[in-house]
Amino acid sequence: MKEKDVVIIGAGLVGSLLSIYLSKRGYKVSIYERSPDMRKENMVAGRSINLALSDRGIKALKEVGIAEEILSLAIPMHGRSIHNPDGSNTFQPYGKQGQYINSVSRRDLNCKLMDLAELHGVLIEFNKKCNSIDWKKNQVEFKDTINDQRSTVNFYLLFGADGAYSAARLAHMLQYDRFEYQQHYIDCGYKELTIPAGANGSFLLEKNTLHIWPRKNYMLIGLPNTDGSFTGTLFFPFEGELSFEHLKTEAAVEKFFGETFPDVVGLIPDLTKQFFYNPTSSLVTVKCFPWIREDKFCLIGDAAHAIVPFFGQGMNAGFEDCSVLNNLIEKHDNNWVQILKEFQLLRKPDADAIADLAVNNFIEMRQKTADPKFLLQKKIEAKLHDHYPDQWIPAYSQVTFSPHIRYSEALRNSEKQEAIMREVMQQQGIEEKWDGSEIEQLILQKLEQ
Ligand SMILES: Cc1cc2nc3c(=O)[nH]c(=O)nc-3n(C[C@H](O)[C@H](O)[C@H](O)COP(=O)(O)OP(=O)(O)OC[C@H]3O[C@@H](n4cnc5c(N)ncnc54)[C@H](O)[C@@H]3O)c2cc1C
C-alpha cells in the first residue's frame, strides 16, 4: 500500500496536516484543492480570519514537529474579558494559572502547513475542484476552475478533507445504502468586523484575552491578531426584531451598535462600510455515518463532522482526527481495513459529543456569561477545581486543556456536573455560603453517587 497513491481532497487545515502525517509515514500523497494557492494570491483564507488553537490541536502539531513554529505566530489568550451592557468589564480566567488558548491566523497556519507538506514531498494541485467519484474504478474527477477542463485521478486510498460542504461526502452519500445524514443550522449567522490597530500597531483592547460582549440572544466576540488588530465576529439572528434582516441601512447599523456596543463604535471608524461589505455567513452542524468505505475512503475534519464554533474546537477536533489516525496506522501496521474501521469507531462518538458541547456553549456564551448567578457557579467550580484538580474539572477545561479526556467522556462528565451544580445553585443563601466547606462537601458527596 505504501508505494501506492494516497489522494486527499482539500488542502485546508486538516487536509494539509493529514498529508504531513502520511508522508512522514512513507506514503506518496497528492492533494487536490479547489482554490488557488493562497500563498501566491492575495485572497481571504476561507471562513474566520483567526482561530483559537488549544491543547488538542497543539498536541497534533507537536507530533509532526511544527507546534513551536506555529505558536510563535500566536497570541496567548488567558481568559474571557466580558464587556457588560452597563459598560463594566469582568475577567474570567479560562483555567488554572498558566492555562491559555492561542489566537492564530487561519491564513498563516494554512500556509505553514502547506509549506511543510511540500517539504515532505506532498504534491498540491490547486484550482482542482472535486466533481464526482467513481467508486468502482477508484477514480476522482476534478474540474480545473481556470479552464474548466476535466481530469481523472486514480487512488488506492482517498480522504475527503474538503470541509463542511464536502463534495466527497456527497459523492459517498449518494451511492451508499442507508447513509445517515443530519444537518442543522442555528438561527444565528455571523459577520466579521475588523477592529484596526492603534498607533504603531498598538492593541486598542486588552491584548491577551478573548473579548466577549454578551447580549442575551446575540453577542460580539473579538480575537487579537499579531498586527495589533482584533477580528470581531458578530453572532446575530438572521430574522426577528433585532436581526440581520432589520439592519438594512447605515443609520440602523449605527444606532444598533451605538446602543448595544458603545465601547466598540469608536474603535471601528468604517463600521458601516465593513458591515455592508463583509458577508453574513451561516453556522452548520453536520453529523453523518459511515465516514468510510472499506479500506479505500475516509472523511476527516469538517467533512466528517462540522460543528458550530462556540467551543473553538472545529479545527482542534480535525487535528485530533489526524493524531488518532496516526496512532492507528502504527497499531494496525498499515492495514487500512482495520485502521479505518477503528478510526470511525473511536471518532464518531467523540465528534457527536463535541458537536453537542459546542451548541451548548453557544447558549452559555450568549445568554449566561453576563448573569451573576452563572458567574457565581463558575467561581464555585473554579474553587473546586483548585482544591480537587482530579475530581472536578470544569467542562471547558476538559475540552480545551485535557487532550487525554475524550470529547465523549467530557460530555458525560459535564452533564453530571451540570446536574449537580443546578441543585447546588438552588440552595438557600448560596450567594453567602458558596465559599464554605458545607457546599464543597455537598458537591463531593454528589459526585460520588
Ligand atoms: C466563524 C468560525 C470560527 C471558528 N473558530 C474556530 C476556532 O476558534 N477554533 C477551532 O478549532 N475551529 C474553529 N472553527 C472551525 C474551523 O474553521 C474548522 O473546523 C476547520 O477549518 C476545519 O478544517 P478542514 O480542513 O476540515 O475544512 P476547511 O478548513 O473548510 O478546508 C476544506 C478545504 O477543502 C477545499 N474544498 C472544498 N470543496 C472542495 C472540492 N469540491 N474540491 C477540492 N477542494 C475543495 C476548500 O477550499 C478548503 O481549502 C471556526 C469556524 C467558523 C466558521
pLDDT, one tens digit per residue, over 427-437 is 999 999 999 89
Atom of ligand 1 nearest to the CA of 51: 8
The CB of 74 under 6 Å from ligand 1? The reply is: no
CA 281 – ligand 1 centroid, Å:
13
Q: State residue 284's pLDDT score.
A: 97
Which residue, 100, 32, 438, is CA-closest to 92?
100
Which residue is associated with the grid cell 440602523? 252
The CB of 302 under 6 Å from ligand 1? The reply is: yes
* Region at 247 (left for phi over 0; alpha for psi -120 to 50; beta for the rest): beta
Residues shown for the chain? 449
Residue 390 sits at φ, ψ, to 5 deg, of -95, -20
pLDDT, one tens digit per residue, over 320-372 is 999 999 999 999 999 999 999 999 999 999 999 999 999 988 877 766 766 78
The CB of 35 under 6 Å from ligand 1? The reply is: yes
Residue 287 sits at φ, ψ, to 5 deg, of -120, 135
Least confident of 165-179, 293-307, 426-440: 426-440
Q: How crowded is the C-beta side of 25, counted as CA atoms within 13 Å?
A: 24
Cis peptide before 290 (omega within 30 of 0): yes
Atom of ligand 1 nearest to the CA of 192: 1
Residue 159 clears pLDDT 70, i.e. is over it: yes
The CB of 18 under 6 Å from ligand 1? The reply is: no
The strands making up 123-125's β-sheet, listed across from edge to edge, are 123-125, 28-32, 5-9, 157-160, 297-299, 292-293
Average pLDDT of the residues of the chain: 94
Specify the residue with its C-alpha closest to ligand 1, atom 48: 12
CA 433 – ligand 1 centroid, Å:
46
Specify the residue with its C-alpha closest to ligand 1, atom 30: 163
CA 416 – ligand 1 centroid, Å:
32
The CB of 190 under 6 Å from ligand 1? The reply is: yes
Q: State residue 131's pLDDT score.
A: 97
Which residue is associated with the grid cell 474501521? 341
Do residues 222 and 232 make contact, with C-beta atoms less than 8 angstroms apart? yes
Do residues 317 and 51 make contact, with C-beta atoms less than 8 angstroms apart? no
State mean pLDDT over 153-158: 96
pLDDT, one tens digit per residue, over 298-334 is 999 999 999 999 999 999 999 999 999 999 999 999 9
3-state SS, the chain, equals: CCCCEEEEECCCHHHHHHHHHHHHCCCEEEEECCCCCCCCCCCCCCCCCEEEECHHHHHHHHHCCCHHHHHCCCEEECEEEEECCCCCEEEEECCCCCCCEEEEEHHHHHHHHHHHHHHCCCEEECCEEEEEEECCCCEEEEEECCCCCEEEEECCEEEECCCCCCHHHHHHHHCCCCCEEEEEEEEEEEEEEEECCCHHHCCCCCCCCEEEEEECCEEEEEEECCCCCEEEEEEEECCCCCCHHHCCCHHHHHHHHHHHCHHHHCCCCCHHHHHHHCCCEEEEEEEEECCEECCCEEECHHHCCCCCHHHCCHHHHHHHHHHHHHHHHHHCCCCHHHHHHHHHHHHHHHHHHHHHHHHHHHHHHHHHCCCHHHHHHHHHHHHHHHHCCCCCCCHHHHHHHCCCCCHHHHHHHHHHHHHHHHHHHHCCCHHHHCCCHHHHHHHHHHHHC
Residue to mutate (ligand 1; options 51, 113, 320; most atoms within 8 A of CB): 51
What is the Cα–Cα distance from 308 to 359, expressed in whole angstroms? 7
Residue to mutate (ligand 1; options 158, 185, 302, 407; most atoms within 8 A of CB): 302
The CB of 309 under 6 Å from ligand 1? The reply is: yes
Residue 46 clears pLDDT 60, i.e. is over it: no
Please report which confidence band the pLDDT of residue 1 belongs to, taking 50, 70 and 90 as the band edges. low
Residue 212 clears pLDDT 70, i.e. is over it: yes
pLDDT, one tens digit per residue, over 249-288 is 999 999 999 999 999 999 999 999 999 999 999 999 999 9
Q: Cβ–Cβ contacts within 10 Å for residue 184, how many? A: 13
Q: State residue 267's pLDDT score.
A: 96
CA 435 – ligand 1 centroid, Å:
43
CA 163 – ligand 1 centroid, Å:
5
The CB of 56 under 6 Å from ligand 1? The reply is: no
The CB of 219 under 6 Å from ligand 1? The reply is: no
pLDDT, one tens digit per residue, over 117-144 is 999 999 999 999 999 999 999 999 999 9
* Region at 190 (left for phi over 0; alpha for psi -120 to 50; beta for the rest): beta
Which residues have CB under 8 Å from 386's CB, separation 6+?
A: 96
